[in-house]
Amino acid sequence: MMANLRTLFAAGLIAGLTAAPALAAGLYGQWRVSFDAHPGGPLPFTLDVREGKSGPEAWLVNAPERLKVEQVEVTSDAITLIFPSYNSRLELKATGSGGLAGTATVLRSTGTVTLAATAQRGAWRFTPGAVKPGGNVTGRWNLTYGDNKVKGLVLLKQVGSQVSGTVQLPTGDMRYLSGELNGNQLKLSTFDGSFTNLWLGTLAGDTLKGAQFAATSRPTGNAFEAKKEKAATMNAVVVEAPGGERLSFRLPTPEGQMISLSDPRYKGKVVVISLGGAWCPNCHDEAQFLGPYAARRQKEGLEMIGLQFEYGTDVPRAMRQITSFKTRYKLPYPMVYGGRPIDEDTKKVLGPLAPVKVWPSTIFIGRDGRVKEVHVGWAGPATGALAEKVKREFDETVTKLLRAKA
């Protein structure tokens, strides 16, 4: 009898173990997730959850980008997406109606922000059925943005009623925006695990007017006006030529080392310092370029340092986030902690090169140890040719400095 009970128990255990993935598989597939109380109105995006070789995998879809989620947990009734490099997460639980509901927590300069989320099966963005566009927004648009009338560039591509593109400002680009033109109403959104953006505009001829909203925006958002012009362009990165300063910081890495430009490792080398933070979406795009680039050119005499300024006063948390950022992008160079992204802290570290107003920015130091150039801003992959131009100019600056004598 005891043997039979053991057999039944073992069989039940095996059945339970094999049933769990089957139950979890019920949550696999495409979901239309929406932050329903986001400033400006609901902000939708597509979540694609699948079974991978070693467990569940997920992608955030903001066409044409499919951004792989760093960590994914799927149970019989819940999906949890974890973004260590952003210190954010999205938790969704099954509801009785066949949908999902939960919250996203994202880190901002003011602290943690919670966004209520719902999800239902499907991949539509703003409108579930077919919509008829009242025009075509494909092209380049000169942008005037915000209370200070900042100049920027809008890049859009329309296929049928579906629209994708991005917005480039002097402070960086808005990554991949995706949405629709329904009649004369343009709606674009994005979510990359932390960064949220909603653009709502009205098309009238060759003019778009509307407002942009982020997770902490005021109710009216940031007003914008864009005019379609075939030759519209801008310099995504401003190149500054400082006065040959020497930087003298000595800062810690998460591993407990202290890094200084006076270390033997940097003597007679070209040193590029990337100023960023894990909270900065454009810094994530820049890191994807910098990691392979630094590894490829190190043998020529290039060294790099990631100088991070993180939100809040919790130093251990900041160090964990820097480690997660470095791990995510496999960065082969030291990452150091400089404090918070505020004027006071950047001045302490960078002296006359501060305050830092645009993230990321990049400092180029020659073999003689003096600052030669500062590149302010970045253009991510969503900007296409603009991003290629920025990377090309970065490479030209490094090559020039490597060829120069100390």
Q: At what angle do helices 281-297 and 385-403 cross, to 10 degrees?
A: 40
Residue that terminates a domain, selected from 178, 193, 228: 228
Amino acid 35: pLDDT: 98
Decide if 188 is inside a domain.
Answer: yes
Are residues 293 and 367 part of one domain? yes
CATH number of 289's domain: 3.40.30.10
Are residues 264 and 394 part of one domain? yes
Distance, in Å, from the CA atom of 3 to the CA atom of 11, rounded to the nearest integer, reads 12
Are residues 357 and 291 part of one domain? yes
Amino acid 337: pLDDT: 98
Decide if 5 is inside a domain.
Answer: no
pLDDT tens sequence across 20-46: 444 456 899 999 999 999 999 999 999
Q: At what angle do helices 281-297 and 315-328 cross, to 10 degrees?
A: 60
Distance, in Å, from the CA atom of 295 to the CA atom of 315, rounded to the nearest integer, reads 28
What is this structure's pTM?
0.91
Contact 137, 143 (CB under 8 A): no
SS3 category, 368: coil
Amino acid 24: pLDDT: 56
User: Cis peptide before 64, with omega less than 30 degrees from 0?
Assistant: yes
Alpha-helical (H) ranges within 309-353 are 315-328, 343-350
CATH number of 168's domain: 2.40.128.120
Decide if 294 is inside a domain.
Answer: yes
Residue that terminates a domain, selected from 181, 205, 228: 228
Q: Is 312 left (phi over 0), alpha (psi -120 to 50) or beta?
A: left
CATH number of 90's domain: 2.40.128
Q: Look at strands 88-94 and 302-309 and give their pairing.
A: unpaired
Are residues 95 and 154 part of one domain? no
Q: Is 145 left (phi over 0), alpha (psi -120 to 50) or beta?
A: beta
Are residues 155 and 113 part of one domain? no
Residue that terminates a domain, selected from 64, 90, 121: 121
Decide if 373 is inside a domain.
Answer: yes
Amino acid 121: pLDDT: 96
Which residue has tokens 């696999």? 28
- Structure tokens given for 93: 């639980």
The pLDDT-based confidence of 103 (bands split at 50, 70, 90) is: very high
Are residues 145 and 56 part of one domain? no
The pLDDT-based confidence of 16 (bands split at 50, 70, 90) is: very low
Distance, in Å, from the CA atom of 41 to the CA atom of 99, rounded to the nearest integer, reads 20
Are residues 350 and 256 part of one domain? yes
- Residue 264 belongs to domain spanning: 238-403
Average pLDDT over the chain reads 93
Amino acid 105: pLDDT: 98
Distance, in Å, from the CA atom of 337 to the CA atom of 266, rounded to the nearest integer, reads 18
Contacts of 13 (CB under 8 A, 6+ apart): none
**What is the number of domains present in the chain?**
3
pLDDT tens sequence across 138-186: 999 999 999 999 999 999 999 999 999 999 999 999 999 999 999 999 9
Amino acid 162: pLDDT: 97
Decide if 133 is inside a domain.
Answer: no
Are residues 171 and 86 part of one domain? no
pLDDT tens sequence across 177-232: 999 999 999 999 999 999 999 999 999 999 999 999 999 999 999 999 999 999 99
